[in-house]
Amino acid sequence: MAPTTPLRQGEFIALMAMLTATVAFSIDAMLPALPEIGAELTPNALNRAQLILTSFVLGLGIGTMFAGPLSDAFGRRTIMISGAAIYCIGAVMAWAAPSIELMLAARLLQGLGAAGPRIVALATIRDLYSGRDMARIMSFVMVIFALVPALAPSMGAVIIAGFGWRSIFLAFLLFSALSVIWLALRQPETLPPSLRRPLRLKLMRDAIVELMSHASIRLSIAVQTLCYGMLFGVLASTQQIFDVTYDQGANFPLWFGGIAVVAASASLLNARLVGRLGMRPLIKGMLTVQIGFSSLMIAAVLLPIPDQVEFAIYVIWTTSVFFQAGLTIGNLNALAMEPVGHIAGMAASLISAIATVGSVIIAAPVGLAFDGTALPAALSLMAMAVVALLLTMQIRRETA
């Protein structure tokens, strides 16, 4: 029998964070394994190992399109639990995959399943909170969410060293199982049957038309796409840059963990500032800062400076990209969801699906453009930050 007693806010935030952190864990714990996977499954094209990350994100984006409408029709808990089951099947397939093609298919399936907990958790939060209150809750969720990347590479490295790279997929299986058991035992349903929307094509079409009729939502989606594109673009090539460019492959989990710890403070800072300053000023301010840091990174690669100085600038720049996510993505979600709380599941799905799939289209070429330096990534991020800032300046508040 499903629980009926509402969770205390602290436990609710922790549970939502763990459900959404499945995505971060599934990406970041893979990073130390990429060289070994590339050497074993695609030795003649090592750069293709990066597709293990972007194929997961692509599946996530596709699954996101369906998770929200299904949760509007059948309830939040059912879809989150079903998504976790699909994710676990994908993890087992990836563990057994004998080729890079089957590995990418398994990762795509994992992404499809992960969309259930990830996107429906957002709709669950929107069921209970709105506006700046939702942004504040999302900020606290993002604090915990951001700590996962700090630990995941080191955990992945330990698991891989002890049991081989395939064992990382069994760790994914365990992580997802624990989170969904917690959900099943403790979290009540937040969408009662009286408020559910039947899964009909016309209703879905009407919801999409309503959603896309808001200029603020269209602009928020575009900016979110670029912010995710910056994040995934850096993430796709960061292990190679640490290893090949700066000869820091052995220390990569420690460096990445430190970057994630510093970046996690962005969400906490956002929770403190969003009620006072508002969502738009924070987004614009962070994108302006990103333009400055990306310019510095480009200069560091092009100018004849010592390698140690260039590496220090790269670490600072990478940190700024993750820091930026904590001050933009949650606020952009809240901005986009604000006018459409009555169709929260559909809204969450469409917003995140477009942003995620769009970001993969952007990020995959950025990662594959790696040429032994950080220049392709820095130039790409500079362009994305400029466009995102110009679009953010056009967002206007549509509700009181």
pLDDT tens across 17-49, in order?
A: 889 889 889 998 988 998 899 889 988 877 788
Four-residue CA torsion sign, 75, 81, 363, 103: negative
Among residues 287, 311, 259, the alpha carbon closest in space to that of 384 is found at 287
Helix (H) or strand (E) holding 228: helix 215-240
Task: Give CA–CA dist 259/244, Å, rounded.
Answer: 19
Place of tokens 């199982």: 177
Q: Which of 91-100, 146-155, 284-293 has the lowest average pLDDT?
A: 146-155
Task: Over range 280-307, report the average pLDDT.
Answer: 94
CA–CA gap between residue 349 and residue 60 (Å, rounded):
11
Spatial contact of 196 and 77, defined as CB atoms under 8 Å apart: no
Cα(217)–Cα(344) distance, integer angstroms: 13
pLDDT at 108 over 90: yes
Half-sphere exposure of 314 (CA within 13 A, CB side): 28
Class of domain 9-188+196-392: mainly alpha
Give the amino acid at 296: L
Q: Which residue has the higher pLDDT, 68 or 103?
A: 103
Query: Can you give the pLDDT at residue 398?
Result: 53
Of the CA atoms within 13 Å of residue 10, those in its CB half-sphere come to: 0
Instruction: Give the pair of three-digit tokens for residue 209.
Output: 């038309």
Which position has the higher pLDDT, 19 or 130? 19
Q: Is the pLDDT of residue 186 over 50?
A: yes
**Using alpha carbons only, what angle is made at residue 368 by residues 364 and 371, rounded to the nearest 5 degrees?**
145
Structure tokens at 392: 């953010």
Say how far apart CA 367 and CA 234 lie, in whole Å: 7
> Looking at residues 8-25, what average pLDDT do you find?
88
The 10 Å CB-count burial string (b at 16+, else e) for 307-338 is eeebbebbbbbbbbbbbbbbbbbbbbbbbbbb
| DSSP notation for 293-313 | HHHHHHHHHHS---HHHHHHH
Diameter over CA atoms, the chain: 66
d(CA 317, CA 230): 12
Distance CA 337, CA 330 (A): 11
Q: Residue 400: pLDDT band by 50, 70, 90 thresholds?
A: very low
The distance of Cα 323 from the centroid of its chain, to the nearest Å, equals 13
CA–CA dist 221, 355 (Å, integer): 6
What average pLDDT does the segment 173-179 reach? 94
Confidence class for position 399, pLDDT limits 50, 70, 90 = very low
Helices H, strands E: what count in the chain?
A: 14, 0
**Nearby residues of 61 by Cβ (< 8 Å), 6 or more positions away:** 111, 115, 352, 353, 354, 355, 356, 357, 358, 359, 360
Q: Which of 172, 298, 314, 325 is nearest to 255 (CA)?
A: 314
pLDDT of residue 183: 93
180 within 8 A of 84, measured Cβ to Cβ: yes
Contact indicator for 275, 132 with CB cutoff of 8 Å: yes
Name the residue with higher pLDDT: 383 or 195: 383
Angle, helix 100-128 to helix 51-74, in steps of 10 degrees: 40
DSSP 241: I
Residue type, 397: R
